[in-house]
Amino acid sequence: TTGPPCSCLNGGFCQDSACVCPSEWAGPFCDIECVFLYSFCTVNFCEDSVYTVNVSENVMKNLTFERTIVGQYSSSKEKCEPNTVNGNSPIAVRMCSRKGIIPVLEPPSILNCNENLDSLVLQVETADASNVSTIASNTQILTSIPSRLTTQNISVAANIAVKILRKPNISEHSQAPVAVLTTVSQLLDANETEFNNNNLVNVTASLTKTMEEFSLMGNVTQPNVAVQSVPLKLNSTILFLAQKGKLGHVVGFTGTRSEGSSNDGRVGFVLYQNDKLFQSRVYKSKINLSKQIVSGNVDGGRASGVEIAFNPKAFQIKYKYAKPLEYVSYVGVGLSIAGLITTILFQIFTR
């Protein structure tokens, strides 16, 4: 897994720091018995699947995908040929989403086995609208296994994301921004040690700055990052609400506004599930706490104030002590009681 191990009950198993539950159980720890609605169980995964694609003229190929958690991508078991640029990399990825209560598999995205991140970054500058979507899709596939990403992979993928998001009228593309935000979401699942490199600071700073600019015109939600934008009216109040799913991922990021007079610009927010893109060259945190980052941007107006409300449950700390400490406590209490009894008896017999 790419994160701390999870405690799955009732036959569930841990995958990508989340529990994959049997069909009769659901919830973050497979501890909720499924409620059947309209003959469907509210499970949190898509089953194994096979998808047939046309790889060349008159040549069909079956792509096999394993069980996938809702909101995540599954890599195909089929790999690129060893003699290609991406030899032994998954040839495709497929997302498991949810429509209502039913997990649904999206059509797979197919990788060009003769392209890698280094070759893709060289093509972005001169790519036209159709090629931008292809580059974004290939980048998404190449970063679909976060646990394998190196510092160099993260740097190049972030650079590609920056170049694509800075393309003119990129928000009008239907696929490219979604693929880019998916890539950023996958980068946030990469091993934290890969971000402890000062060479990444400038790249990640550029990415977060570009994301902030894109938030004024984009509306995209992915498991680890969400972007939302709404019009800003004169003397208006903007309210953003972020909701989390059972697996801890962002499932909704909505913006509302009170009525004002005329349009006075736009306001946008970006929500990050962790702070991996916000590393400091100087300060290194020694406290292992989960940190979410919210970035806001106002265009064509001025914000007079910002208020943030948190769910108090997020700050409840459950302490877990080791068994030896528990035994030491028992011994200490026993000795205290014995000492008290001895003192009482001493006072009785010496008076």
pLDDT single digits (tens) 139-152: 998 998 888 899 99
13 and 137 within one domain: no
286 and 140 within one domain: yes
21 and 130 within one domain: no
347 and 297 within one domain: no
Q: According to the model, what pLDDT value does residue 154 have?
A: 95
Quick one: 50 exposed, middle or buried, by C-beta within 10 A (0-12, 13-18, 19+)? Answer: exposed
The number of beta carbons lying within 10 Å of the beta carbon of residue 20 is: 20
- The answer, as to whether pTM is greater than 0.85, is no
List all residues 6 or more positions away from 77 whose beta carbon is below 8 Å from its beta carbon. 63, 64, 65, 66, 90
Q: According to the model, what pLDDT value does residue 302 have?
A: 61
290 and 149 within one domain: yes
Lowest mean pLDDT among 231-235, 243-247, 291-295, 347-351: 243-247
12 and 160 within one domain: no
Is 92 inside a domain boundary? no
146 and 193 within one domain: yes
Split at pLDDT 50, 70, 90, the class of 263 is: low
- Quote the DSSP letter at residue 79: B
128 and 38 within one domain: no
Q: According to the model, what pLDDT value does residue 203 have?
A: 92
182 and 37 within one domain: no
Residue 246's nearest CA partner among 18, 12, 86 is: 18
Residue ranges making up the domain that contains 24: 1-43
Query: Does pLDDT of 2 surpass 50?
Result: no
Split at pLDDT 50, 70, 90, the class of 325 is: confident
121 and 9 within one domain: no
Please name every residue paired with 36 in a beta bridge, in sequence order, or none if there are none.
41
- Output the CA–CA distances (angstroms, integers) from residue 269 to 71, 85, 116, 187, 258, in the order listed: 21, 38, 31, 19, 17
The number of beta carbons lying within 10 Å of the beta carbon of residue 115 is: 19
Question: Average per-residue pLDDT in the chain?
Answer: 79
Say which residue, 77 or 280, is predicted with more confidence: 77
What is the number of alpha carbons within 13 Å of residue 273 lying toward its C-beta? 24
Q: According to the model, what pLDDT value does residue 3 have?
A: 43
Split at pLDDT 50, 70, 90, the class of 258 is: very low
Split at pLDDT 50, 70, 90, the class of 70 is: confident
Quick one: 321 exposed, middle or buried, by C-beta within 10 A (0-12, 13-18, 19+)? Answer: exposed
Contact 162, 207 (CB under 8 A): yes
247 and 195 within one domain: yes
Contact 25, 42 (CB under 8 A): no
Return the structure tokens found at 230: 């709404």
Per the structure, the count of domains in the chain is 3
306 and 159 within one domain: yes
Give the residue-averaged pLDDT of 110-129. Answer: 89
Q: According to the model, what pLDDT value does residue 71 have?
A: 76
